[in-house]
Structure 1
Amino acid sequence: MTWQTVIKDIIFYILKVLIAILLIAAAFIVGTMIGYSVVGGAGEPMDVFNPEIWQHILDYIF
């Protein structure tokens, strides 16, 4: 095993991890938009990014 294959394996591993993180973030964003607007029936999907909504959610939890 040469150093080139080791570097190549490391780069592929890092790319896999980054892709997984991006997919998880995208699923979280889409899930919150669907959950807020469709399931919750609260309004526009983009309203979920309003900081006041998140403050209300945190106040409700704590």
Structure 2
Amino acid sequence: MTWKSVVNNILIYIIKVLVVVLLIGAAFIGGAMLGYSVIGEAGDPMDIFNPDLWRHILEFIF
């Protein structure tokens, strides 16, 4: 194995991990928007980016 192949394998692994993290983030945001606006019938799906909404949700949890 050469250094180029080792570095190439490491970079491919890092890119795969980043893609998975981005897909998980997109699934979380999409699920929150769907759950808040469609299932919860609360209105605008962009409201999930409002920090006051998350403070309100976290009050129920803690």
TM-score category, normalised to shorter length = over 0.9
Structure 1 vs Structure 2: percent identity of aligned residues? 61
TM-score (norm 2): 0.95
Alignment match, 1:7: 7
AA of the residue aligned to 2:52: E
TM-score (norm 1): 0.95
What are structure 2's unaligned runs of at least 5 residues? none
Q: What does residue range 10-21 of structure 1 map to in structure 2 within 5 Å?
A: 10-21=10-21
Tell me the number of residue pairs that the alignment of Structure 1 and Structure 2 aligns: 62
Q: Deviations over 1:3-33 (max 9, x none)?
A: 1100100000000000001101111111100
**Dislocated runs of 4+, deviation >2 Å:** none
What are structure 1's unaligned runs of at least 5 residues? none
Q: What does residue range 1-62 of structure 1 map to in structure 2 within 5 Å?
A: 1-62=1-62
Q: Counterparts of 2:48 and 2:11 in 1: how far apart (Å)?
A: 35
